[in-house]
Amino acid sequence: MSQSQSAPVSAKPRGPKPPIPLSVITGFLGSGKTTLLNRILKDPAMADTAVIINEFGEIGLDHLLVDQAGDGILELSSGCLCCTIRGDLVTTLENLLRRVDNGRMDRLARVVIETTGLADPAPILHTVMLHPYLVLRYRLESVVTLVDAVNGLDTLKEHEEARRQAAVADRIVLTKTDLLEKDPARDPGPLLARLTNLNPGARILDTQKGEAVPSRLFDAGLYNPETKIPDVAKWLNAEAFDDGHGHKHHDHDHGHGHGHGHGHHHDHAHDVNRHDDKIRAFTLATDRPISAASLEMFLDLLRSAHGPKLLRMKGVVKLAEDPGRPVVIHGVQHVFHPPATLEAWPDDDHRTRMVFITYDLPEGFIRKLFEAFSGALLPDTPDPRAMTENPLAISGFTAR
């Protein structure tokens, strides 16, 4: 378009709108999701939030409802919006964007999706991550998993869904801890140890201590909402993972939930891992850069061959071609968010760092795979060139 044909400068800011943070609240049946939502929706920090829930009947937000619009979106007296996923989550998320884009709504600060108690939250995350338009307009902020402090340990023991919900979380909220206080015989230690074991990187918040507030529930995104500066160290929280010696540095202060690293749990009184040895949490860190093509192949192989076993993965990667500009990756099962390039390393740690939570996928396997792709010479591992240039390699898995 020539200069003379260009449209007059409008008062409206041009360019793509910043993506809207999207969080998912999950937790087993009766873990207290509705109770928490009811409470936080009254918090001024939740202004301009839209909450998407499964069924109105189940959620006790009725007293807050004031108006139902044609698109199935209800306005709450607190100024928030509420919609159901009776139809389709994509349509609901599109309807919200339409409201913002056509000016019916000034600002949509955040979307919170509440899942049903038995749901694996991964498909909800996939709905957004796999949609070519929604992935541009929304960004995953936090997966918040509620765990009932009274029944949590039994629920984790008996239900795979509950373990997956805890494993995928960025924040774990302990509910009903007030009931523990009334019964001194109940020790929250084993539950905390189990949760830390399943997902060391998730910060644990206690409702009773007033910790489950919006600023702490939804601050798990890569970007600090205040400064908009990426905070990789906080986002990865790799320090909370086992350091290889059975020690973990966890940021909750209950005094029981540390030190139960896998591979070391047999040394401890609470054998928290014995019910399910398949979920593993570990980190991978290296100074060695990896080429962009090898990173892509590593991720391709992980997601195509082992996707269902990769419950959650986050990482910051040093590229051989551009070591000063790290790439941020994160995935939930076989779906990866489009990688984002940071303009610079946000702190002094310029190593590739990745955190993994896997199901039935050993740490050693991923480590060797990454080392092979990043060019480390390992005696018992194939040369990466032999893997990528092998004419018998799996189709689609060739050097670029």
Q: What does the alpha-carbon distance between residue 292 and residue 326 come to, in Å, rounded to a whole number?
A: 11
84 binds ligand GTP (CB under 6 A): no
48 binds ligand GTP (CB under 6 A): no
Collapsed DSSP state (helix, strand, coil) of residue 215: helix
Which residues from 189-208 bind ligand GTP, rule CB under 6 A? 207
39 binds ligand GTP (CB under 6 A): no
Q: Which two tokens stand for residue 205?
A: 């918040």
Conformational region of residue 279, where left means phi above 0, alpha means psi within -120 to 50, and beta covers everything else:
beta
Please, what's the largest Cα pairwise distance for the chain?
79
Selected from 137, 164, 176, 280, the binder of ligand GTP by CB under 6 A is 176
Q: How far is the CB of 54 from ligand GTP (least distance, A)?
A: 8
**8 Å CB contact between 61 and 46:** no
Q: What does the alpha-carbon distance between residue 287 and residue 254 come to, in Å, rounded to a whole number?
A: 34
Q: Which stretch binds ligand GTP (CB under 6 A): 43-51, 170-178, 210-218, 292-300?
A: 170-178
Q: How far is the CB of 129 from ligand GTP (least distance, A)?
A: 25
Pick from 276, 265, 283, 274: which is nearest to 357 by CA?
A: 283
Q: How far is the CB of 158 from ligand GTP (least distance, A)?
A: 16
328 forms beta bridges with: 316, 340
Amino acid identity of residue 57, one-letter, is: G
35 binds ligand GTP (CB under 6 A): yes
217 binds ligand GTP (CB under 6 A): no
**Nearer residue to ligand GTP within complex by CB, 207 or 358:** 207
**8 Å CB contact between 326 and 316:** yes
Q: Find all residues with CB under 8 Å of 250, minimum gap 6, and list them.
A: 196, 200, 204, 240, 257, 258
Q: How far is the CB of 83 from ligand GTP (least distance, A)?
A: 17
Q: How far is the CB of 38 from ligand GTP (least distance, A)?
A: 8
Selected from 19, 30, 123, 189, the binder of ligand GTP by CB under 6 A is 30
**Nearer residue to ligand GTP within complex by CB, 174 or 295:** 174
Quick one: which H or E segment has residue 203? strand 203-206
117 binds ligand GTP (CB under 6 A): yes
Binding residues with ligand GTP: total (CB under 6 A): 15
- Interacting residues with ligand GTP (CB under 6 A): 27, 29-35, 58, 117, 175-176, 178-179, 207
